C-alpha cells in the first residue's frame, strides 16, 4: 500500500507495495465514462505488469489472454459500482494537466554546472 506521503508502505503479511505503474490510468469519474477499449488497455497493462511479459510465449498465451479477460470483467464491475460525490472530471483538462506534468518532469537542464 502506498502511504499518504506517497512512499511505499507495508501491506498484509509484510508484503511491500509501491506506487501504481504510470501506464495504468485512472478510469473512474470521467465524463464521458471510460470506454471498453480503455478498460481493456488498462487490463492488458495490469496483466503485463503482474506477469512480467510484454508478449507471452505460445505456452502462456491462453493463460495471459484469460487473465486479461478476467481483469477486464472485474474492472467493468468495479467501475459500474463505484460512486462519487465529486463532479466528473473533464478528459481534456486532465490530459492537459498530464502534459504539463510530463513537460516539467522531462525538462532538459542546460549546463547544470
36-50 pLDDT per residue, tens: 999 999 999 999 999
Mean pLDDT of 18-45: 84
Return mean pLDDT, the chain: 83
Per the structure, the complete domain to which residue 68 belongs is given by 22-84
In a domain, 100, yes or no: no
Domain count, the chain: 1
In a domain, 11, yes or no: no
Task: Kindly give, in sequence order, each residue whose CB lies less than 8 Å from that of residue 29, ignoring residues fewer than 6 positions away.
Answer: 82, 84, 86, 88, 89
pLDDT confidence of residue 13:
52
In a domain, 111, yes or no: no
In a domain, 62, yes or no: yes
* Percentage of the chain lying above the pLDDT 90 cut: 59
69 — pLDDT class (breaks 50, 70, 90): very high
In a domain, 105, yes or no: no
pLDDT confidence of residue 2:
44
In a domain, 59, yes or no: yes
**Crossing angle of helices 36-51 and 58-81, rounded to 10°:** 130
Task: Kindly give, in sequence order, each residue whose CB lies less than 8 Å from that of residue 11, ignoring residues fewer than 6 positions away.
Answer: 1, 17
Amino acid at each position: 500500500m502506498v502511504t499518504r506521503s506517497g512512499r511505499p508502505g507495508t501491506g498484509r503479511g509484510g508484503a511491500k507495495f509501491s506506487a501504481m505503474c504510470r501506464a495504468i490510468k485512472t478510469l473512474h469519474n470521467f465524463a464521458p465514462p471510460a470506454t471498453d477499449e480503455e478498460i481493456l488497455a488498462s487490463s492488458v497493462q495490469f496483466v503485463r505488469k503482474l506477469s512480467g511479459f510484454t508478449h507471452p510465449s505460445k505456452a502462456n498465451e491462453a493463460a495471459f489472454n484469460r487473465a486479461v479477460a478476467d481483469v477486464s470483467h472485474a474492472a467493468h464491475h468495479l467501475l459500474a459500482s463505484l460512486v462519487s460525490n465529486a463532479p466528473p472530471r473533464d478528459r481534456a483538462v486532465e490530459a492537459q494537466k498530464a502534459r504539463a506534468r510530463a513537460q516539467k518532469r522531462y525538462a532538459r537542464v542546460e549546463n547544470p554546472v
